[in-house]
Structure 1
């Protein structure tokens, strides 16, 4: 029973990691494009995003996404909240 639960957890962990890796790569590409822009506004947006996500702990970001979206009246699954938070963090 314990091994089955561990294998189920491993499956979800790998899937969540894959989603965060792909989503983080796409967001990272967007932030990189903003960061190397010749205009000041996109560079400032990228700098703010980087400082926000580097300056706060991942656990706090996970809580803010899950409970913050719920405060807006949107019912969000824990898996989706984790995927969004990990993607933004990555």
Structure 2
């Protein structure tokens, strides 16, 4: 049995002006999916919230590639959440 090394890389989007309900509708579709599958879903979904989330996922993948030397094919969206600002 191979022991895979797991590291977390994250990107944080702040001050994105959209409803938390609209963003959560998109986030729920990508949680737990691979990076490539996530990009495909975000490109094909007709919601306005997809573009800022796409940029955020792309940024996290770029951080993983440059800082950790990770291959994008091995990346998985393990955690994604939307918080409402009061």
TM-score scaled by structure 1? 0.32
As a proportion of its length, which structure holds more helix? Answer: 1
Bigger Rg, structure 1 or 2: 1
